[in-house]
């Protein structure tokens, strides 16, 4: 399961690691070996000692407020690198952080009745779909605007301008607008959400060149799935 799970996390699957899960996601592990290594943090294993070093406290969690925190042979984040947002600290040690769709806590919120940390994670996952819908709307607007501008320039060059040089300039400008607009719209489409293989239902983010040159109907693309290696009409989906 390691390879497919790693691929899904790298493709943007929302994931939450508590305690040992924090260590699994860490790029660097002090006193251990990295596993998935998808989050730009350095984790310190068993940072608070053995089982007798387990403890309970209440501290501020960014965006939530004061939450109960139960630590059991817990790690903490020794260093947070680029793109990592620190969400909570205890005695100056980082115990909660986020990077994109990855959330980690050194404590166990499931051992307390307070559900706000789990609700934070669910809201975090929902925001991805909302943001992706917005980006797909921008793609449609850019695609239509560049197409309409192309047709207007083409019509003007063909029927409204008599000067040959001006016509050539307008023709060149029309095609430049179309190529740049479509390329930009396709880049948004490629990087927003995922494509789902209709055979094995694997969801992934393809390379831009694969999307650019693939046959398409709307946002469906005829491409080769990296998992099952079958060519199918792969539909656009906004979340995992």
* Active-site residue set: 19, 108, 110
Q: Angle, nearest 10°, between helix axes 116-155 and 164-191? A: 160
Nearest to 16 by CA among 104, 140, 89, 88: 104
DSSP 88-119: EEETTEEEEEEETTEEEESS-GGGSS--HHHH
Q: Counting every residue, how long is the chain?
A: 240
Q: Are 195 and 237 in contact (CB under 8 A)?
A: yes
Dihedral pair phi/psi, residue 114, rounded to 5°: -70, 120
User: What are the tokens at 146?
Assistant: 């560049």
Q: Are 36 and 9 in contact (CB under 8 A)?
A: yes
Q: Are 173 and 150 in contact (CB under 8 A)?
A: no
Spatial distance between the Cα atoms of 39 and 75, rounded to a whole number of angstroms = 15
Provide the 8-state DSSP code for 159.
Answer: I
């Amino acid at each position: 399961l390691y390879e497919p799970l790693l691929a899904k996390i790298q493709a943007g699957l929302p994931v939450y690691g508590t305690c040992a899960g924090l260590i699994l996601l860490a790029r660097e592990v002090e006193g251990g070996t990295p596993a998935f290594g998808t989050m730009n943090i350095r984790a310190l294993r068993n940072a608070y000692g053995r089982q007798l070093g387990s403890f309970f406290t209440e501290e501020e969690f960014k965006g939530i407020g004061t939450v109960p925190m139960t630590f059991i042979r817990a790690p903490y984040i020794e260093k947070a690198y680029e793109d990592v947002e620190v969400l909570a600290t205890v005695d100056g040690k980082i115990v909660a952080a986020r990077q994109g769709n990855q959330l980690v806590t050194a404590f166990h919120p499931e051992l307390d009745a307070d559900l706000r940390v789990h609700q934070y994670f669910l809201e975090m996952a929902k925001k991805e779909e909302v943001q992706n819908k917005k980006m797909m709307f921008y793609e449609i607007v850019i695609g239509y605007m560049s197409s309409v501008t192309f047709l207007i320039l083409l019509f003007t060059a063909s029927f409204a301008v008599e000067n040959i040089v001006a016509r050539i300039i307008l023709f060149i400008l029309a095609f430049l607008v179309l190529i740049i607009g479509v390329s930009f719209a396709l880049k948004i489409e490629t990087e927003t959400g995922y494509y789902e293989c209709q055979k094995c239902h694997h969801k992934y983010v393809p390379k831009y060149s694969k999307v650019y040159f693939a046959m398409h109907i709307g946002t469906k693309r005829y491409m080769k799935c990296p998992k099952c290696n079958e060519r199918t009409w792969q539909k656009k989906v906004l979340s995992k």
